[in-house]
Amino acid sequence: MEEGLKRFVDRHVIITGAGSGIGQGIAHRFASEGAKVVVADIDQEGGKKVEDAIKAKGGTAVFIPVNVASEDSINELIQKAVEQFGPLHIGVSNAGISETQSSALEITTEEWDRIYGVNTRGSFMFCRACGNVMMEHEIKGSIVTISSIMGRGAKNMTGAYASSKAAVIMFTKSLAKALAPMGIRVNNVAPGMVSTNLYRPVESEMLMEKDSFVPWIIEQCIESGQLLIPREGTPDDMAAAVAFLSSDEAAYITAQVLCVDGGMDWCW
Ligand SMILES: NC(=O)c1ccc[n+]([C@@H]2O[C@H](COP(=O)([O-])OP(=O)(O)OC[C@H]3O[C@@H](n4cnc5c(N)ncnc54)[C@H](O)[C@@H]3O)[C@@H](O)[C@H]2O)c1
């Protein structure tokens, strides 16, 4: 296993959406710090690859399939994870989907429900299940949700996505209040722009090349002075924040939103 910080030795962590992008970075970070990592994703191929990559580096990981839009699937995930690695210490609700660039006027009700089903309802069901299983085993654990800079400022082109992420921020705070008496902390990380598969639908609707949407936004933000650290974010940047909030170093931090966005002040 890699050298460096070892804040999570023998701690059990489940990360949803860990089969690619930011979630994959979070999974590797926890594994490198000694955690027993459950890679949970709807994408079997991506999830298995991340499990194999962690094991190849000497870490401990297992892929368990999940569809966070289904409560039964979440319950099955938690049950299998506890059977495999014992009581749960950390839950990271990272799975998310984006819409195409439809404005709040153009988006269909079905698309709205699909986005909310994964980003908001799915995240809520997963976090509640994590809280319940931590209480059952009397674990003073940590839950981290992932929102977005878009959950903090309205954008014309992302009506459902932006509001689904704003809702995540608010239920994170509610859950933090509900779980505080049991010593369970709940926080949120709001990422800035990171090149991942999230933007494929946007790129295809805008007829852009793969991986060109984020650099295009970043360039505009740098030119207009709306980005204080002039580069895009990386999965490692996000993973560092999630790991900090999950660690004992953040023992006095709950119900907070940590923006990891390079100081981005961006509006369309
Ligand atoms: N990339 C960015 O710039 C950015 C910015 C702000 C917030 N985010 C948030 O970060 C999180 C991770 O996104 P990403 O950028 O790594 O995108 P990504 O598409 O690379 O990763 C998302 C993962 O979630 C999984 N997933 C999707 N639906 C699922 C479901 N129903 N059940 C289980 N897993 C499911 C996908 O298979 C995928 O592996 C998301 O919540 C996203 O909204 C990303």
Task: Please state the rounded mean pLDDT for residues 255-262.
Answer: 97
β partners of residue 146? 189
**b vs e for 145-174, b when ≥16 Cβ sit within 10 Å of the residue's Cβ?**
bbbbbbbbeebebbbbbbbbbbbbbebbbe
For the stretch 88-101, pLDDT in tens is 999 999 999 998 77
**Can you give the pLDDT at residue 267?**
53
Q: Which of 28, 161, 196 to mutate to test the pocket of ligand 1 (most atoms within 8 A of CB)?
A: 196
List, for residues 40-55, the tens digit of each pLDDT value: 999 999 999 999 999 9
Ligand 1 centroid to residue 249 C-alpha, Å: 26
The CA distance from 186 to 172, in Å, is 6
**Contact 197 CB / ligand 1 (< 6 Å):** yes
17 pocket-lining for ligand 1 (C-beta < 6 Å): yes
- Residue 265 is predicted with a pLDDT of 80
Contact criterion met (CB below 8 Å) for 187 and 256: yes
Global pTM value? 0.97
Q: What is the pLDDT of residue 41?
A: 99
For the chain, domains (ranges, CATH) are 12-196+234-260 (3.40.50.720)
Q: Is the CB of 16 under 6 A from ligand 1?
A: yes
- Which pLDDT value is given to residue 30? 98
- At 97 the three-state DSSP class reads coil
Q: Which of 198, 202, 227 to mutate to test the pocket of ligand 1 (most atoms within 8 A of CB)?
A: 198
14's tokens:
């489940």
Indicate the SS3 state at residue 185: strand
258: left (phi over 0), alpha (psi -120 to 50) or beta: beta
Structure tokens at 96: 């998310």
Q: Average pLDDT over the chain, rounded to whole? A: 95
Other CB atoms within 10 Å distance of the CB of residue 136? 11
Task: Report the percentage of the chain scoring pLDDT > 70.
Answer: 98
Task: Look at residue 192 and tell me whether its pLDDT is greater than 70.
Answer: yes
Residue 2 has pLDDT above 70, yes or no: no
Encoded tokens for 256? 């907070």
Q: Average pLDDT in the 172-182 region?
A: 98
- Estimate to the nearest angstrom the gap between the alpha carbon of 190 and the chain centroid: 9
Percent of the chain at pLDDT > 90 equals 86
CA distance 43 to 121: 19
pLDDT beyond 90 at 57? yes
Cβ 203 vs Cβ 212: under 8 Å: yes
Which atom of ligand 1 lies closest to the CA of 235?
A: 16
Q: Which atom of ligand 1 is nearest to the CA of 195?
A: 1
What pLDDT score does 152 carry? 85
- Residues 166, 168: Cα–Cα separation, whole Å: 5
In the predicted model, is pLDDT for residue 231 greater than 70? yes
Write the pLDDT tens digit of every residue in 115-159.
Answer: 999 999 999 999 999 999 999 999 999 999 999 999 988 777 778
| Catalytic positions | 161
How far apart CA 125 and CA 159 sit, in angstroms, is 22
pLDDT at position 120? 98
Q: SS3 for 260?
A: strand
